[in-house]
Structure 1
Amino acid sequence: MALATNQTGERRPATRNTIQRALVLEAVQSLHEHPTSADVYEEVRAKHPNISRATVYRNLGVLADKGEVLRVEVAGGADRYDFFNEPHYHARCRQCGRIFDIDMPYRFDLTDEVVDAHGFKIEGHQIMFDGTCPSCQKDSR
């Protein structure tokens, strides 16, 4: 059995590209607004009603492990998926819950500046800014 190395350096059985994986990737790309796994499932199922939820969720995991989509962890909420898989920051609207890309340079060197008294080896970072999106600001006026 062939082994492949994922983004974290783990060796796992190699996965082959499948039609289902292509459908899941296409759904993430078409949704544009950081969909949840449930959003992706509904999008794929609308065109291919026989696909299972487990197949969609498994393929999202494979795509994230391979770096083809970015998994955005949301504290207190469902993980989101982003077709723009280069490292970048996000903001979450506290009112509507939508996730937005932040247009600012990613600080690759930020981990070098972290000093940890517990001996933790920092290997990367995700930053989620909280605030109120323009649409919710407008609605609250």
Structure 2
Amino acid sequence: MGTQPKRRMTKQRKKILEVLRSTTSHPTADWIYDQVKQEIPNISLGTVYRNLNVLKEMGEIRELDYGSSHSHFDGNAEKHYHFTCLECGKICDVDESLHFELNQNVEEKLGCSIDYHRLEFFGVCSECKANKNKTD
């Protein structure tokens, strides 16, 4: 694979990145667009999508695609896991640093080389669990 051309940080990219890093909610492109539009009124949704893809290619953000009709984006590009609530759809970071150990264990077991892995947690968040307990 060839090297990616160096991309500059445009005003739009900088604002999109700022908005995305200001939240831990793992928003959709539409939400990001609504926030950025407050400061850059003439920006289009297409521009936001294109710049999210460029930021992803640059390694500045992560795209969380769970096979639904819309992706969520994460301003934290460091390797980490996510928990998704099956009731309300909220996505939150799981602060566990098992990446290296898991990669190493699988490499040893299979005799292969691991570049990366993806592990996601799904269940019911504490708020939905509490609400469900109140109604039971």
TM-score exceeds 0.5:
yes
What does residue 76 of structure 2 align with?
A: 84
Q: Does 1:131 align with 2:131?
A: no
What does residue 11 of structure 2 align with?
A: 19
Q: Which runs of 5+ in 1 are unaligned?
A: 1-8
The Cα RMSD (Å) is 2.2
Aligned partner (choices 27, 34, 37) of residue 29 of structure 2: 37
* C-alpha separation in 1, matches of 2:124 and 2:82: 13
How far has the Cα of 1:132 moved from its partner?
A: 0.6
Identity over the aligned pairs, expressed in percent?
Answer: 36
TM-score computed with the length of structure 2 as normaliser: 0.83
- The one-letter amino acid paired with 1:137 is K
* C-alpha separation in 2, matches of 1:10 and 1:96: 42
Q: Does 1:73 align with 2:65?
A: yes
Q: Does 1:54 align with 2:46?
A: yes
The alignment partner of 2:130 has SS state of: helix
Structure having the higher helix fraction is 2
The alignment partner of 1:11 has SS state of: coil
Q: Which runs of 5+ in 2 are unaligned?
A: none
- The one-letter amino acid paired with 2:42 is N
* Contact in 2 for aligned 1:87/1:106 (Cα 8 Å): no
* Contact in 2 for aligned 1:89/1:106 (Cα 8 Å): no
* C-alpha separation in 2, matches of 1:59 and 1:67: 12
CA deviation vs aligned residue, 1:80-130 (integer Å, no higher than 9, x gap): 211221100001000000101012113224234447xxxx97421121100
Question: Per the alignment, do residues 53 and 75 of structure 1 end up closer, same or farther by CA in structure 2, a change over 3 Å counting?
Answer: same
Q: Does 1:107 align with 2:99?
A: yes
> Where has structure 1 moved over 4 Å in runs of 4 or more?
none
TM-score computed with the length of structure 1 as normaliser: 0.80
Question: Per the alignment, do residues 33 and 10 of structure 1 end up closer, same or farther by CA in structure 2, a change over 3 Å counting?
Answer: farther
CA deviation vs aligned residue, 1:46-65 (integer Å, no higher than 9, x gap): 22221011111111111111
